[in-house]
Amino acid sequence: MQTISVQTTQNVFIQYPLASVGDRILAYILDRIILIAYIVAIVGLFINLDVELIWLWIISLAGPWLFYHLLFEIFMNGQSPGKRVMQIQVVRLDGTEATVGDYILRWAFSLIDFYMLSGALAVIVIATSGKGQRIGDMVAGTTVVKLIEQQQITAEKIFITPEQAYVPSFPQVTQLESRDIELIQRALDALAQFENEQPVILVTEKIKSMLGIQTSLPPDKFLYTVVKDYNHLAAR
C-alpha cells in the first residue's frame, strides 16, 4: 500500500496510507449516483406540482450539483457520502485539520480536475503526483488518505480504559494535552501498520524531554504506558 509522510504540528513525520485511485473513483461514482437520484426526484416532483418558476428550477437543480462536494467536505470533516462509504478522507499535508479555505480551493479547481478530458486529467495527476494529489489538492496542500486500518488500531490498542486498581507509572502525563496523545497514537499506528520505528523514537524523545522522564522502557512500551496513564488520570 502506498503511503505518505505527513508532518505534524510537533514536527514529527507520520506515515498514512494513501487512498487508491480506485477508492477515489468509486467514491466519486457513488456521489454522482446520489446527485443523479436527487435530480430525478426533484424533476419528477416539480413536474407533478407543475412548478413553472425558472429561478426555483435553477436553484434546486444547479445549486446541489455545484456545491455538493464543497458543503459535504466542510460539514463532514473532509468526507462526502461517497468518501465515507469508501472510508477515505481529505487531510492537510502539514498535519493540521483542513480549513474551509482548503475545501474551497479543492472545489474551485475541481472544474479543471474533473471536467477537462472528462476526469482523465484528475486520474493521471493523482496516479503520478507521488502524494495522491489532484491539482486542487496541490493548490490547497491536501491529499486523501485511507481510514480503515488506523481506526481499528485506535479502537483496539490505544484508547483502552485502565482498570480501577491501575497505578500510573508517569503521573507527569497530566501535563500533556489531547493533541500530544493524538501524536502518540499516530506514531504507534505507523509502527503497527508499516513497521516504521522513526516516529515512535522521535515522539518518545519529545515526551521524555517535555515531562523530564528517565526510563529504560523501549520506546513503544513507553508510549503505550503514557497513553494508559493519561487515560486513567483523565478519567478520575
Task: Look at residue 114 and tell me whether its pLDDT is greater than 90.
Answer: no
* Predicted pLDDT of residue 192: 78
Q: How far apart are CA 40 and CA 207, in angstroms?
A: 56
User: Mean pLDDT, the chain, as a whole number?
Assistant: 85
Confidence of residue 188 (pLDDT cuts 50, 70, 90): confident
CA-CA-CA-CA dihedral for 85, 86, 87, 92, to nearest 10: -120
- Report CA 103 to chain centroid distance, whole Å: 13
Q: What is the pLDDT of residue 153?
A: 41
User: How does DSSP assign 144-181, residue by residue?
Assistant: EEE-HHHHHHIIIIISPPPPTT---S-GGGGG--HHHH
What angle (nearest 5°) sits at the alpha carbon of residue 69, between those of residues 183 and 17? Answer: 35
Q: Which helix (H) or strand (E) holds 67?
A: helix 54-75
pTM, to two decimals: 0.65
Judged against a pLDDT cut of 60, whether residue 199 lies above it is answered with yes
Pull the grid cell for residue 233. 488520570
